[in-house]
Amino acid sequence: MGKEQNLIIGLDIGTTKICAIVGEINSKTGEVEIIGVGTYPSYGLKRGVVVNIENTIQSVKHAVEEAEHMAGCEIRTVFVGIAGGHIKGMSGHGMITIRDREVAKRDVERVIESANAVLIPADREIIHVIPQEYAIDGQSGIKDPVGIYGIKLETKVHIVTGQVTAAQNLVKCIHGAGMDVADIVLEQLASSEAVLTEDEKEIGVVLIDCGGGTTDIAIFVGGSIRYTENVTLGGDNIDRDIALGLSTPLAEARRIKEKYGSALTELVSPDETIEVPSVGGKHFRKISRRDLAMIIEPRMEEIFALAKREIK
């Protein structure tokens, strides 16, 4: 039981693949060491949203079993990532009067709760309320207000909402695979913890997470998240472009993309050729690898152009 308390399990339920990861917390340093990873193709999602419960349950089970086997543990509870076109970010504001003239932790919790009191449609739920900064008696730009004297405490927050049904279906799949959900985490936020430094977040940085069904965007400035958005295009669209452009089955298109694909035509030698199976798999054709890059590059340009438009 002692070991189980020291484990954190993350589950990324994507459009293309399901990934389970087991981290063990080092009791001395507090750092997390990865001790198990499991991945399995995702067969029940479209654009980050569950469209087939049973297929998703089976994919989750396979990924988790692989992670369990590697880590030598039994997975009971997971933190699950959420993304997709239904996720929306908005700004919020909270304000309270400080009871004892000195900001306590409870006051910080209260001011964040007051920022929560925004009217959102009945079909949506709040996933995160992320404080950006605090102000005391009009003095803004405060990162940690605890212990500061004042009368009025305010906060600016970033509120992330998602469709109630999308989150419920995600949780239903986890329960169906025999596990509980510790919490639901926005994918961009989880990715940012892994890849961004505190300096980058402070100066200002854009995180773009290119997935199979969606491309997720997060903007950080002043050490906190300011904006979240997504584009409902991803790697799956490239697979379809290749399948149509080269008249090859979808599964082969994905394999060719992963093995030979390049997002920049000029990086590929014009002399390189690859074999492409035709639909029905009866015969193979030789094509220039540059022709493949010429299909991928415009689609990647489109995805990043749409991301840039959202950022602007």
Q: What CATH number should be reported for the domain holding residue 175?
A: 3.30.420.40
d(CA 7, CA 10): 10
Residue 101, in any domain of the structure:
yes
- Give the list of residues 6+ apart from residue 146 with CB closer than 8 angstroms, or none: 103, 104, 105, 108
Domain hosting residue 115, numbered range: 88-161
Same-domain check for residues 16 and 59: yes
Residue 42, in any domain of the structure:
yes
Same-domain check for residues 19 and 62: yes
Residue ending a domain, among 161, 179, 206, is: 161
Same-domain check for residues 99 and 112: yes
d(CA 216, CA 200): 18
- Give the list of residues 6+ apart from residue 105 with CB closer than 8 angstroms, or none: 146
Residue ending a domain, among 138, 161, 184, is: 161
d(CA 207, CA 190): 11
Same-domain check for residues 66 and 13: yes
Residue 289, in any domain of the structure:
yes
- How many structural domains comprise the chain? 3
Residue 24, in any domain of the structure:
yes
pLDDT in tens, 126-156: 999 999 999 999 898 899 999 999 999 999 9
The first and second tokens of residue 198, run together, are 């505190």
d(CA 201, CA 292): 36
Q: How many CB atoms within 10 Å of residue 104?
A: 14
CA 19 from centre of chain:
12
Same-domain check for residues 44 and 68: yes
Residue 227, in any domain of the structure:
no
Give me the pLDDT at residue 2, please. Answer: 42
Same-domain check for residues 43 and 173: yes
CATH number at residue 128: 3.30.1490.110
Residues of the chain where predicted confidence (pLDDT) is lower than 50: 1-2
Confidence (pTM): 0.83
Residue ending a domain, among 135, 161, 187, is: 161
Contact 284, 270 (CB under 8 A): no
Give me the pLDDT at residue 280, please. Answer: 75
Same-domain check for residues 266 and 245: yes
Residue 104, in any domain of the structure:
yes
3 state SS for 223-274:
CEEEEEEEECCCHHHHHHHHHHHHCCCHHHHHHHHHHHCCCCHHHCCCCCEE
Residue 261, in any domain of the structure:
yes
Give me the pLDDT at residue 3, please. Answer: 53
Same-domain check for residues 24 and 141: no
Give me the pLDDT at residue 1, please. Answer: 37
pLDDT in tens, 58-83: 999 999 999 999 999 999 999 999 98
Same-domain check for residues 150 and 185: no
Same-domain check for residues 144 and 244: no
Same-domain check for residues 287 and 179: no
Residue 209, in any domain of the structure:
no
Contact 194, 106 (CB under 8 A): no
Q: How many CB atoms within 10 Å of residue 226?
A: 16
Same-domain check for residues 155 and 169: no
